[in-house]
């Protein structure tokens, strides 16, 4: 059985090489993204292993099915980039990694909170230039602050637990309240109430039609002036142009992003020698109270090992006729 890993980086090769693989599985690591231009590389591979920015639209899935692919093994929990109706029509099975290390993403969200609050990005650049002034670097104590957690699955619950450790007051929004989060003392509220009360808001919900642009001009206007927004979930959860207007007016005081709605053509590549063509992202990067990281929240040794192990287990289970972690279409 042959499998090809699109969008594979050096760390993917390392983690998959260390994980026990099913007998007879031949892995091919392909750094190119999967799209209509590269789909021919998957011909005669029964398994295509895809990442979050790979194109799994109907035209690509049709080419994969025609080339002999029968399984799409996602190296991610999210699957909003997959045309599930087309996959079902073509007889393609879709499996995913429902959980790897919630600590990895939650801890990165906390790192963004701390970096923004204590102006670590600005201080780092200053001291490297020999500027040891403290002007403009004043932060605030986290203890006693109100933190709103939108989405309280495994990652949101882990983030809530860490913030509770700082002595923060927790608010939460989720259609399905998590008893573990309630045990931390969190109060579940309607989204509108959470937005008006929280000083720090962190997004940990999936991207779907209901959550797309959950944070928009109206929700930003409802927040406390000077609030902090963190997004380590999906870029489409926020309306990015609306963020820019809120930052310009001072309504939004801090912004930490590890995801971006138009990241597919930018993230995971070194483009430092090229002019940035995305005017919206370029504008975001001009604000001193914004920190953007390139979708690295998942990038820990533990998370990579879990992703590789679960993905290979998913392939083995599918090959044995007992598929696991299937995405319902």
The catalytic position among 263, 269, 271, 283 is: 263
The catalytic position among 234, 245, 261, 269 is: 234
The catalytic position among 75, 96, 161, 295 is: 295
Q: How far apart are CA 253 and CA 172, in angstroms?
A: 21
Name residue, tokens 């594979």.
Answer: 8
Whether 234 sits among the annotated catalytic residues: the reply is yes
Task: Please list, in sequence order, all residues whose beta carbon lies within 8 angstroms of the beta carbon of residue 190, skipping any fewer than 6 positions away.
Answer: 173
Distance spanning both ends of the chain, measured CA to CA: 25
Helix/strand/coil for 216: coil
Whether 302 sits among the annotated catalytic residues: the reply is no
Name residue, tokens 């070194």.
Answer: 270
Name residue, tokens 């138009």.
Answer: 262
With CA atoms as reference, report the closest residue to 323 among 91, 12, 51, 40.
91
Whether 43 sits among the annotated catalytic residues: the reply is no
Q: How far apart are CA 278 and CA 305, in angstroms?
A: 33
With CA atoms as reference, report the closest residue to 152 among 172, 167, 171.
172
Question: Which structure tokens are listed for 301?
Answer: 């040794």
Query: 270 pairs with which residues across the strands?
Result: none
Q: How far apart are CA 156 and CA 173, in angstroms?
A: 10
Burial 254-282 (b: 16+ CB within 10 A, else e): bbbbbbbbebbebbbeeeeeeeeeeeebe
**DSSP letter string, 128-177:** HTT----TT------TT-EEEEE--SHHHHHHHHHHHHTT-EEEEE-SS-
Give the residue numbers marked as catalytic: 234, 263, 295
């Amino acid at each position: 059985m042959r499998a090809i890993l699109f969008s594979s980086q050096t760390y993917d090769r390392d983690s998959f090489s260390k994980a026990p693989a099913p007998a007879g599985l031949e892995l091919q690591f392909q750094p190119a993204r999967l799209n209509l231009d590269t789909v021919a590389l998957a011909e005669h591979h029964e398994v295509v292993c895809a990442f979050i920015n790979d194109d799994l639209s109907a035209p690509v899935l049709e080419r994969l099915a025609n080339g002999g692919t029968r399984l799409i093994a996602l190296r991610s929990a999210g699957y909003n980039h997959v045309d599930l109706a087309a996959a079902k029509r073509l007889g393609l099975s879709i499996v995913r990694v429902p959980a790897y290390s919630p600590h990895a993403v939650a801890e990165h969200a906390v790192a963004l909170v701390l970096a923004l609050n204590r102006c670590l990005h600005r201080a780092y650049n200053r001291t490297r230039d020999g500027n040891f002034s403290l002007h403009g670097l004043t932060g605030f104590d986290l203890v006693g602050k109100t933190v709103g957690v939108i989405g309280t699955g495994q990652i949101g619950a882990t983030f809530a637990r860490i913030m509770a450790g700082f002595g923060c007051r927790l608010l939460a929004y989720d259609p399905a309240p998590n008893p573990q989060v309630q045990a931390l003392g969190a109060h579940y509220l309607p989204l509108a109430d959470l937005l008006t009360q929280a000083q720090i808001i962190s997004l940990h919900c999936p991207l779907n039609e209901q959550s797309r642009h959950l944070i928009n001009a109206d929700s930003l206007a409802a927040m406390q002036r000077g609030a902090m927004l963190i997004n380590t979930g999906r870029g489409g959860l926020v309306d990015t142009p609306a963020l820019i207007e809120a930052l310009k007016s001072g309504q939004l005081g801090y912004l930490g992003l590890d995801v971006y709605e138009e990241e597919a053509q930018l993230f995971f590549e070194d483009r430092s020698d090229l002019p940035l063509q995305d005017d919206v992202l370029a504008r975001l990067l001009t604000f001193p109270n914004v920190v953007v990281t390139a979708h690295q929240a998942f990038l820990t040794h533990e998370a990579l090992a879990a992703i590789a192990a679960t993905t290979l287990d998913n392939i083995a289970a599918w090959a044995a006729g007992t598929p696991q972690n299937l995405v319902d279409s």
